[in-house]
Structure 1
Amino acid sequence: MARNILATAVAAATIALVTACSSSLPVTMKPLQVSTQAGTEHSAQLTYDLGDTAYAPPGLDGKSTELKAAVTYPRRLDEGKHPLVMMLHGWGDTCAIGDEPVRAQGWPCGKGAKPVDNYRGYSYLADALAEKGYIVVSVAANGIQAQEQPQGQGHLARSALLDKHLEMWKQLSSGKGPLKDLKQFTDHVDLNRVGTLGHSRGGGGVLSQVLDSHKPLPGVTIRGTLALAPAMTGIDTDKERITRVPVSVVAGTCDAMWDDSKIPLAMAAKNPHAEHHGVTGANHNFFNTVWTPGVGPRFATDDVAVEKRNLPGGRCKSTNGTGNPRQLKPDEQRRAAIRYVTTFFDHYLR
């Protein structure tokens, strides 16, 4: 009887807490769903999904987000352990009906709408890394971007989401946890050689995860973090520092985020392994194929302001004061990203 009374009280308190902290659905981790994609000659791909409200990260006022990711990996996994790279997308449209975005709504997507696959926009990078022997996990974070406050703690939620996925991969390494059915990866992931990559607010998320103030996840060693045009929204850049983990920042010279991309260098002033690379003529959105016109949905855009692009000779007005370089075409920008990303992770994770 006492046990029943206690259980009832705890359940009531839990419901009250969820109701007080969040207008979204309570945390519900669904059974693992796995789907496979075509991949390439040398790399395979699958997607795992534990539901749209499977995790309530700190920094999101008790609201829940999805636990979903695309995994790209070498077709042959029987040759020892492979380094792991985690990817995190930035802020974009969250839900859509066909080719029309549905904005100003919460999470999960409303009736008739489907999530925008922002996390699939870096498949070209994942393929390039998988062909070199990496296992790549591109994490979906639509639930965070749909519910975070403009100047809130989204960076905290994103870093916690990455830690949550890494925790599940740590459990999987011993055949346990929510991902235990992905048996092909058991004993083939080297959690001592982990890299992280984020774009835009995802870049802020991966940088937040390696702040000196962030408690590292036990049993996991992040050996390098690369941020593509990071947005530092919510991070106290005057106080926070990044000195423990090698950091690379890559940004386009026609990207409005250029100035923000220099901020991590000041935060990593005492880090001997911090670097910044400017990609001449690159914008912000072409690093993600879902955000790229002609490749992504109809609402994908060239983010260079109209008055600063399509200048004579296909040029764009730079945001770093270097004149008007030729704006890179999407495939050129992606090739530049592949060079920087593979070079960085080959150096620090091999």
Structure 2
Amino acid sequence: MCTPARAPRRRILLATAIAAVTLASACGSPQPEVVGSVRVTAQSGTDRSAQLTYDFGDSAYAPPGLDGKRVELKASVTYPRELAGGKHPLVMLLHGWGDTCAVGDKPVRGKGWPCAGEAKPVDNFLGYGYLAEALAERGYIVVSVAANGIQAQEKTGGHTARAALLDKHLEMWERLSGGEGPLRELEQFTGHVDLDRVGTLGHSRGGGGVLAQALDGHELPPGVHLRGTLAFAPALNGIKTDKERITRVPLSLVAGTCDAMWEDSKVPVAMAAGNPDVEHHDVPGGNHNFFNTVWTPGTGPAFATDDVAVEKRNRPGGRCESTNGAGAVPQLGPAEQREAAIRYATAFFDKHLK
């Protein structure tokens, strides 16, 4: 077995830690190497859940599907404050397409990746913190993956790159479960994460990414067992829906009825023909963006929007016109839509990961 050279171990400070990490490409891994150093930052969390972010930098990884272009390896981890007493199931979250870079409240578009000049990455991956906290308080370790580098550089292989990005993080977590690999400084998780009980949740193009990872023909990293995939309003960019199948993994689709992506959310149901555990849920009056707080006016930057088409929203009585043919229905506010997301996510993962 080829074992990458180990970097010197260091204790994690309460706020940040930096550890040199390099994976030797001589190991012949199908996944390109990780390069750079990891920075770990602890956040305050809640009474029952803790949070940290790990970040290898904006050019740490070259996933397949991007013609050799490099992207970030960065994620927010939300987890139970009490990890002792056994292993916890792992849930991976993946955001969709949004503005990748901004200067203050002004998006910077068409400049590639990494962000140039004074522009900073938009924290799209932090928009599901409410879901992560709800799941962590139920005993899950939740990893919300940043994918700005993919969405800034993708053409037709975005779904492939997103699935590979999830696999790369899972590969690191599998090694961490035994106290090894690039994330080994996160020693509080060693012996407490269960890679036999992994779930994924993706939104928009992130939904397409988790569906691509759940395809029958996709090979997961060794030691990782995917027990359930949940997609919020998935965008299926690049997936060959007439040829690909999802029959081995329990699957749930959730979409707002005032979201233009509602029709696309029905397509994976047909792809899963023969799968004994498939469900589709309408969220009456839900839109696309309110599942992510960074994309929601009031909690996101100034360019966050209500994405319901202008001609279909602001109907009398606070209604919006449904995509599914149900007519005008009361449009959900952001808090109501987040409550629906928590309800569906906790029920699905409790069913399949516990």
TM-score, normalized by length of structure 2? 0.90
Q: Is the 8 A contact 1:27 1:64 kept in 2?
A: no
Distance of 2:85 and 2:140 partners within structure 1:
12
1:87-142 superposed Cα distances (whole Å, 9 cap, x missing partner): 00000000000000000111000010000000000000000000000000000000
1:190 aligns with 2:200: no
Q: Is the 8 A contact 1:43 1:130 kept in 2?
A: yes
Aligned match of 1:30: 36
Distance of 2:252 and 2:300 partners within structure 1:
27
What is the CA distance between 1:83 and its match in structure 2?
Answer: 0.3
Distance of 2:256 and 2:46 partners within structure 1:
28
For the residue of structure 1 that corresponds to 2:37, the secondary structure is coil
Distance of 1:213 and 1:77 partners within structure 2:
34
Distance of 1:300 and 1:79 partners within structure 2:
41
Aligned match of 1:135: 141
What is the CA distance between 1:245 and its match in structure 2?
Answer: 0.2
What is the CA distance between 1:210 and its match in structure 2?
Answer: 0.8
1:213 aligns with 2:227: no
Aligned match of 1:7: none
Distance of 1:164 and 1:298 partners within structure 2:
33
Distance of 2:219 and 2:300 partners within structure 1:
37
Counterpart residue type for residue 128 of structure 2: Y
Counterpart residue type for residue 87 of structure 2: K
1:97 aligns with 2:142: no
Q: How does 1:112-151 map to 2 (within 5 A)?
A: 112-149=118-155
Distance of 2:125 and 2:52 partners within structure 1:
13
Q: How does 1:34-73 map to 2 (within 5 A)?
A: 34-73=40-79
What is the CA distance between 1:341 and its match in structure 2?
Answer: 0.2
Unpaired runs of at least 5, structure 2? 1-24, 26-31
Q: Is the 8 A contact 1:28 1:53 kept in 2?
A: no
Distance of 1:340 and 1:210 partners within structure 2:
19
Distance of 1:173 and 1:216 partners within structure 2:
16
TM-score, normalized by length of structure 1? 0.91
Aligned match of 2:3: none
Aligned match of 1:76: 82
Aligned match of 2:171: 167
Aligned match of 1:111: 117
What is the CA distance between 1:27 and its match in structure 2?
Answer: 7.5
1:327 aligns with 2:331: yes
Counterpart residue type for residue 214 of structure 1: H
Counterpart residue type for residue 104 of structure 2: G
Q: How does 1:6-25 map to 2 (within 5 A)?
A: none
Counterpart residue type for residue 327 of structure 1: Q
Distance of 2:340 and 2:324 partners within structure 1:
18
What is the count of residue pairs matched by the alignment?
Answer: 324
Distance of 2:70 and 2:34 partners within structure 1:
9
Q: How does 1:197-346 map to 2 (within 5 A)?
A: 197-346=201-350
Counterpart residue type for residue 206 of structure 1: V
Counterpart residue type for residue 115 of structure 1: P
Q: Is the 8 A contact 1:282 1:328 kept in 2?
A: yes
What is the CA distance between 1:29 and its match in structure 2?
Answer: 2.0
What is the CA distance between 1:195 and its match in structure 2?
Answer: 0.2
Counterpart residue type for residue 110 of structure 1: A
1:140-180 superposed Cα distances (whole Å, 9 cap, x missing partner): 0000000001xx01000000000000000011111111101
What is the CA distance between 1:258 and its match in structure 2?
Answer: 0.6
Q: Is the 8 A contact 1:27 1:53 kept in 2?
A: no
Q: Is the 8 A contact 1:250 1:277 kept in 2?
A: yes
Unpaired runs of at least 5, structure 1? 1-13, 15-25
Aligned match of 2:16: none
What is the CA distance between 1:264 and its match in structure 2?
Answer: 0.3
Aligned match of 1:20: none
More helix by share: 1
For the residue of structure 2 that corresponds to 1:266, the secondary structure is helix
What is the CA distance between 1:216 and its match in structure 2?
Answer: 2.3
Counterpart residue type for residue 121 of structure 1: G
- Please point out which of 146, 155, 159 is paired with 1:155: 159
Distance of 1:28 and 1:226 partners within structure 2:
28
What is the CA distance between 1:215 and its match in structure 2?
Answer: 1.2
